[in-house]
Amino acid sequence: WYQRRVRGLLAALRAKAVKAAIGVMVTASHNPPQDNGLKVVEPQGEMLLPRWERYSSQLSNTDSASLVEALKELGEEVEVSITSTQGRMIIGRDTRESGPEIAAAVTAGAANLQCKVENIGVCTTPQLHWIVKQSNIFKPSTLLDYYKTFAESFMALYGKPEADVKHSIKVDCANGVGAHALRTLAPSLTDHIDIIVCNDGSSGKLNENCGADFVKLMQNAPQGVNYSENEHCYTIDGDADRSLFFYFQDHKFHMLDGDKIATLFAGFLNTLIHEAELNLSLGVVQTAYANGSSTSYLHTKGIPVVCVPTGVKHLHKRAEDFDVGVYFEANGHGTVLFSDNAMEMINLRAARETRKIQKSAVTRLLAFTKLINPAVGDAITNILVIETILKLCKLSPQSWNNMYTDLPYRQLKINIRDRDIIKTTDAERKISSPAGMQEKIDALVSDFSGARCFVRPSGTENCVRVHAECATQHEADTLAMSVGSMVFDFTEALHSHL
């Protein structure tokens, strides 16, 4: 209770500092149901600034007797009076049993600093991000506004079903909050698409043998869902900010991850921008984990690709450098950002354009901007975007999947004594320290044609992660094992000399 209350105090202080609404989401995302935590959302719907994450850690490590003094000192550092009545906090939670208690602790902390609190109850993480962003830019918004906005945007871009035959999709909701959100949204879309909700929490456990994290890790379909050949199926995670697409062909499982989604979105947007004759920069932001084939495919389409360190905050920030920035992690978390310049140009052209092809393209582009959640990766809105693109471009799951073929890869976790001895550079694709380790990796990679491999320390565990890509699965397995063994031996040798 104390730690949660402290986070409430920190969030309230942040709200006072920005003099705006901030969000607090009670969730542990793709983790087991007994886990829970807090995410603080900035006024524009972004994640809490790193500097304030440090402040949060400082306060959390302060004992109760020293807390008031620590708050006063922090208030002075950020130039905020802890007795001011400015600021507003919007709290949401997923379906975990501990959610209400944690939300109450956060509310108590905020009340200590006279911060106004609005508890919107059960919602997805992206819904909270969207509501916070909308409330600060336009007007106070609610969950009903979310459903209305995206239902109308989907129907406008998707159009009427072809040949009056409604399409249906199945969504594995990981027994999480996404099921509640989809069940609320689905009735508004019944004239266009049927959404069949699976793993809705009525029987199974949250994230157990289901959900996007499970499907990505196991490379297999989630339990609790019945599938038909070539059926459009999705899996989302516990708080509905990740989504993956999958289907079966000839009884074989095929998964299309965040890389595939990014290339689908980028290709669609690239076509619209060119047809509309708009001078807008389009780019895709990836991490080192993006499959090399996706990067090569985007290059062949003339779409710039940049690589950043792992983490949504890095992807989101770099995407802002483009007029239209597409970013996705391989795990299915991502979105599309449109700059103020892009929005101004698109709106102006949509209002004035009279030529048929250009008018159609810019109209669709404008509708796309309203269907994407610009605050954060949103599994639900991304599913709607994917279905729209597949319909408009007349793409089957197979034709989408066949745009490029993923290189076989293998990921390993190598436990070592001290992960901090390994430092990386070049967006975590090269090791800068200890000296000599990168040269050994390069030597091992050179044994395989067209291969790549990188090693990076984990952000949460005392281990390193090895990622290897090769022309065949056997080669990828072999390279990953060779590099993993080398890293372990290298670090052990360093420790023996200390």
Question: What are 38-70's pLDDT values in tens digits?
Answer: 999 999 998 888 899 899 888 888 888 898 898
- Does the structure show a pLDDT above 60 at 498? no
What is the 8-class DSSP label of residue 373? -
Minimal CA–CA distance to 170: which of 107, 221, 238? 221
SS3 93: strand
Q: What is the pLDDT of residues 90-127, one digit of tens each?
A: 999 999 999 999 999 999 989 888 899 999 999 999 99
Residue 188 among the catalytic residues: no
Q: Token pair of 457, please?
A: 């320390």
Q: Token pair of 360, please?
A: 């159609």
Cβ(221)–Cβ(227) below 8 Å: yes
Dist CA 343 CA 364 (whole Å):
13
pTM of the model: 0.93
How far is residue 483 from each of residues 122, 182, 352, 457, measured CA to CA in Å? 45, 43, 58, 14
Dist CA 442 CA 440 (whole Å):
5
SS3 194: strand
Q: What is the pLDDT of residues 184-225, one digit of tens each?
A: 999 999 989 999 999 999 999 999 999 999 998 888 999 999
Q: What is the pLDDT of residues 438-481, one digit of tens each?
A: 999 999 999 999 999 999 998 878 899 999 999 999 999 999 99
Residue 163 pLDDT: 65
Q: What is the pLDDT of residues 346-361, one digit of tens each?
A: 999 999 999 999 999 9
Q: What is the pLDDT of residues 381-405, one digit of tens each?
A: 999 999 999 999 999 999 999 999 9
Note the residue count of the chain: 498
- Residue 40 β-bridge partners: 24
Dist CA 144 CA 135 (whole Å):
13
Helix (H) or strand (E) holding 162: none
Number of other residues whose CB lies within 10 A of the CB of residue 144 = 9
Between strands 243-249 and 252-256, the pairing is antiparallel
| Residue ranges in 61-97 assigned as alpha helix (H) | 67-77
Q: What is the pLDDT of residues 143-181, one digit of tens each?
A: 999 999 999 999 999 988 776 667 899 999 999 999 999
Minimal CA–CA distance to 416: which of 464, 452, 383, 379? 464
Q: Which of 29, 56, 294, 482 is catalytic?
A: 29
Residue 266 pLDDT: 98
Residues 6+ apart with CB under 8 A from 350: 359, 362, 363, 365, 366
Residue 161 pLDDT: 75
Computed over its alpha carbons, how large is the radius of gyration of the chain?
24
Cβ(314)–Cβ(294) below 8 Å: no
First to last CA, the chain: 42
Dist CA 295 CA 284 (whole Å):
9
Dist CA 1 CA 374 (whole Å):
33
Is 275 buried (19+), middle (13-18) or exposed (0-12) by CB count in 10 A? middle
- Does the structure show a pLDDT above 60 at 310? yes
CA 311 to chain centre: 9
